[in-house]
Amino acid sequence: MISPIQVRDMTPRHLRNSCVNCSLRELCLPIGLSQDEMSELDKLITQARPIKRGEALYRAGEPFRSLYAVRLGFFKASVISEDGREQVTGFHMSGELLGMDAISTDVHTCDAIALEDSEVCELPFSDIEDLSRDVPLLQRHLHKVMSREIVRDHGVMLLLGNMKAEERLAAFLLNLSQRFAVRGYSSSSFHLRMTREEIGSYLGLKLETVSRTLSKFQDQGLIKVQNRLIELENIDSLKKLLNTCHDE
């Protein structure tokens, strides 16, 4: 049986061959399924579906049928307000689950757009529910994954409600860094898949502010920026930017 640790340390390349593995990281990884349960799960998962850069995996308003596990690539999820303002609610990379917002109304409430050529596994939600009735570990894990999304959202609220531009950017870069690290990529050097405007939308800033703040970090020797390539040169100082208490 595959232990959580083993899979967690696998490089993305290793994850490519099995669709079960792809969905494992977020949906059903740390749960120790039996062989039988694994193969049940396997049946559930349809062929991997490729999504080209710029394409939508789904859009707000479309009927909800499935969750999607990102197998490969990079997505942004965003909501559009009635008056047309976009708010990016998250960036999602391999192993993460998309579409949980849609369960509540059986209609997608976000757009999910691929920011690079990507692949997803489609997980029909009614199958997940059926299976999770028979496999308590899966049930438990589904709940954890949804809860984790709520916790993540609370973190973003804290960021948007309390932090200054510099802190937001620092938090953003450190978060990306950490997530790349988990996936076996460099934590200190990575390529941003999104525009400054999309970063700004996520962080509640205008694109000019994002650009300026990145430049400032560069001037301070914290990072190196070459267009979308970011190198973190002083992670500790970035972290200090976050922990420094400003008020009271």
Partner DNA sequence: ACGATGAATTGATTTTAATCAAACCAGAGG
Partner DNA sequence: CCTCTGGTTTGATTAAAATCAATTCATCGT
Single out the residue of 17, 104, 226, 227 in contact with its own copies (rule: CB under 8 A): 104
What does 113 interact with, of DNA, its own copies, none (CB < 5 to 8 A by kind)? Answer: none
* Residue numbers 107-126 binding its own copies by CB under 8 A: 109-110
Q: How many CB atoms lie under 10 A from the CB of residue 142?
A: 22
- Amino acid at position 15, single letter: L
Q: How far apart are CB 189 and its own copies at their closest, in Å?
A: 26
* Residue numbers 137-166 binding its own copies by CB under 8 A: 139-140, 142-151, 153-158, 160-162
Cα–Cα distance for residue pair 194/91, rounded to 1 Å: 9
CA-angle at 139, arms to 134 and 140, nearest 5°: 135
Q: Which is nearer to its own copies, 53 or 59 (CB)?
A: 59
Cα–Cα distance for residue pair 90/111, rounded to 1 Å: 11
* Residue numbers 200-239 binding DNA by CB under 7 A: 204-212, 214-215, 225-228
Q: Which is nearer to DNA, 131 or 205 (CB)?
A: 205
What does 197 interact with, of its own copies, DNA, none (CB < 5 to 8 A by kind)? Answer: DNA
E strand or H helix that includes residue 30: none
What does 242 interact with, of its own copies, DNA, none (CB < 5 to 8 A by kind)? Answer: its own copies
Q: Which is nearer to its own copies, 56 or 80 (CB)?
A: 80
Which distant-in-sequence residues (6+ apart) come within 8 Å of 191 by Cβ?
228, 229, 230
What does 13 interact with, of DNA, its own copies, none (CB < 5 to 8 A by kind)? Answer: none
Cα–Cα distance for residue pair 147/23, rounded to 1 Å: 17
Backbone φ/ψ region at 88: left (φ over 0), alpha (ψ -120 to 50), beta: beta
